[in-house]
Structure 1
Amino acid sequence: MARIGLTLGPCLFNWSAERLLAFYRGIAENSVYDRVHVGEVVCGKRMPFSDPVWPEVIETLQSAGKEVVISTLAMPSTVRERKALAELVSGDVMAEINDITALASLEGRPFTVGPLINVYNEASAAFFAGRGAKSICLPVELPLSSVAVIAKACEGLEAEVFAFGRLPLALSSRCYHARLHGLHKDSCQFICDRDPDGLAVDTVDGQKFLAINGIQTLSDGVQLFLPTAGEASAHGIKRLRISPHTLDMVTVGATYRRLLDGEMSPTEAKESLLALGLPGAPVNGYLSGGVGASQLELA
């Protein structure tokens, strides 16, 4: 049985340049992730602040033996953003596309596909594989039964599943954070940086509901998919994706690595992760084809 890979996905939140540099230095020096994604996915307005950081971050990670992937913007809406996307995917570092328009700029280069692209069946996965995709992180709403079908139909394509973090659900042309603070999107003052793990949103009845991150909607709960290596392989899963939060991501990665290497049980792994202080309750319902906000024992 092949070893299950461990991916650190892109940071979805508005972290300062200083915080990003310190975070990735720690990941390079101490973590077990074999693949690390960098780059801005959510809001193009953040790019002028984070883009200068990435060359140093990439060099640091590569020097530590990490495979680096640049994740691209999921909803490019201006000429500047579309130009930046084209430049990113044409560089020397493999890119993850999060918007299908990026395909036009790849020119035969290998790439990965992010979970914000709608790949819900084997035909869609085969479309990307035929154009050079090496890996695909499947949409978070897909149950494991569908993951297995897609993985079996596209055996040359690494099937990756979102295993940890608030689930990325949707993007909007409007900025929820700006509206909340009485600001316009064009003059948002980058107010989303006040909530480095996203801002929880309750219903009018006070029930936990979702989380917002600028223009992005996330789950309130935190995905905890804790398969053994055998269970992951049985569904054709080659990689697990861990999404960055402000808690100890080195320990999160080490916990998943020990779980996949058979050194820790799923129950022990769950206890270890809960002890870190998650920003929301654990969830995994989508993986069984149920309600995403539920926490179930997966067969």
Structure 2
Amino acid sequence: MKLALAPIQYYWPRDKVFAFYEEMAAAPVDIVYLGEAVCSRRHELRLPDWLALADRLEQAGKQVVLSTQVLIESGSDLGTLRRIASNGRHLVEANDMGAVQCMSGRPFVAGPHLNLYNAPSLAIVAREGAVRWVMPLEMSRTCLEQVLARRPAGLETEVFAYGRLPLAFSARCFTARHRNLPKDDCRFSCIDHPDGLLMETREKQPFLVLNGIQTQSALVYNLAAEIPAMRAAGVDVLRLSPQSAHMAEIVALMRAAVDGALAPADAAVRMTPLMPAAACDGFWHGRPGLVKQAA
């Protein structure tokens, strides 16, 4: 079972991004997704910078995948999408059906936001060139097993196994709105929140995290304890979403659990002090997402 590092969801300073990937070059991950998938206004890195990082990570033995933006809103967004799709060297993660169309039958990864909930949908993207698909975030183990029973031959399955869940995207920027700023003059407010901006209920319970135009889960989805179940279901790749601190330790614990050097349940426990919030795994068990299933 392989480990994949998802694209960074947050807006980090340029130097922090380069330092992060230098650390990940030495980490035991097999696949690294690169690129800005959330907001086109985030310009600390441009496409040439992502390609330079791709070269560095390939030299370190990683498979590099270039991720496309989830919500395409302008002609410039479309132009960037087309440049990524035609890069001619790296695999591409298509995060909307426009990106699938741009790939024109070339190999790609079907991202988690394509709403692939059944075997006929998988067959469609496989015919278009998909070589791997990422399970929708709220899909349960039971539903996944039903889909995998009829998945196209040769199509790898990737499951989001760690990190705050990217739940929704909007044309409106919630972080800017929090500061009473318009989206077009957001002053790049996201950069002040390296793990997103926490929202709480009136009872002071964690509810959601704002990340620009993206809404995330407040709790951290952690399926480390479910590694045996995922392996039994036929999952090929576990996706880990970057956080601003302790990511190398999280990767090492997940690798130890996958390789059998550490019991999966023990790995989940050891991750607890390294996480920016408490754990949840409800979606995997067919329950509300913020629930933590008892071991």
Cα deviations by residue, 1:68-108 (Å, 9 ceiling, x for unpaired): 00000000110000011011011121100111111221122
For structure 1, which segment, 48-57 or 248-257, has the greater mean C-alpha deviation from structure 2 after superposition?
Answer: 48-57
Give the match's secondary structure for 1:211. strand
Residue pairs, 1:48-63, within 5 angstroms? 49-63=45-59
- For this pair of structures, how many residues does the alignment match? 293
Q: Report what 1:22 is aligned to.
A: 19
Are 1:274 and 2:272 counterparts?
yes
**Which residue of 2 is the match for residue 95 of structure 1?**
92
Please tell me whether residue 176 in structure 1 is matched to residue 174 in structure 2: yes
Report SS of the residue matched to 1:263: coil
Residue correspondence of structure 1 range 45-194 to structure 2 within 5 A:
45-47=41-43, 49-91=45-87, 92-154=89-151, 155-194=153-192
- Whether 1:39 aligns to 2:48 is no
After TM superposition, give the deviation of residue 291 of structure 1 in Å.
0.8
Helix, strand or coil: the match of 1:209?
Answer: strand
How far apart are residue 272 of structure 1 and its match? 1.7
Residue in 1 that maps onto 2:285? 288
- The DSSP-based 3-state class of the residue aligned with 1:275 is helix
- RMSD across aligned positions (CA): 1.4
* Secondary structure in 1 matching 2:175: helix
* Whole-angstrom distance in 1 between the partners of 2:45 and 2:282: 36
Moved more, 47-56 or 267-276: 47-56
SS in 1 for 2:149: helix
| TM-score when normalising by structure 2 | 0.96
Q: Distance in 1 between the 2:133 and 2:294 partners?
A: 25
Q: Name the structure 1 match of 2:197.
A: 199
Whether the aligned pair in 2 keeps the contact of 1:38 and 1:54 (CA below 8 Å) is: yes
CA contact (8 A) 2:199 2:207 kept: yes
Name structure 1 gaps, 5 residues minimum: none
Q: Amino acid of the residue matched to residue 151 of structure 1?
A: L
* DSSP-derived class of the 2:236 partner: strand
TM-score after normalising by structure 1: 0.94
Which residue of structure 2 lines up, in the alignment, with residue 236 of structure 1?
234
Sequence identity percentage: 36
Q: Which residue of 2 aligns with 1:219?
A: 217
Q: Select between 224-233 and 247-256 the one with higher mean Cα deviation.
A: 224-233
Deviation for aligned residue 1:204 = 2.4
Write the deviation string for residues 251-289 of structure 1: whole angstroms up to 9, x where unpaired.
11111111011111122101221121x111100000010
Deviation readout 1:209-239 (Å, 9 max, x if unpaired): 1101000000000011014654222112111
Gaps of 5+ in 2: none
- Equivalent position amino acid for 2:16 in 1: R
Give the C-alpha shift of residue 120 in structure 1: 1.3
3-state DSSP of counterpart to 2:198:
strand
Distance 1:281 1:228 in 2: 17
SS of structure 2 residue aligned to 1:125: helix
Report the secondary structure of 1:130's partner residue. Answer: helix
Check whether the contact 2:14–2:44 (CA below 8 A) recurs between aligned residues.
Answer: no
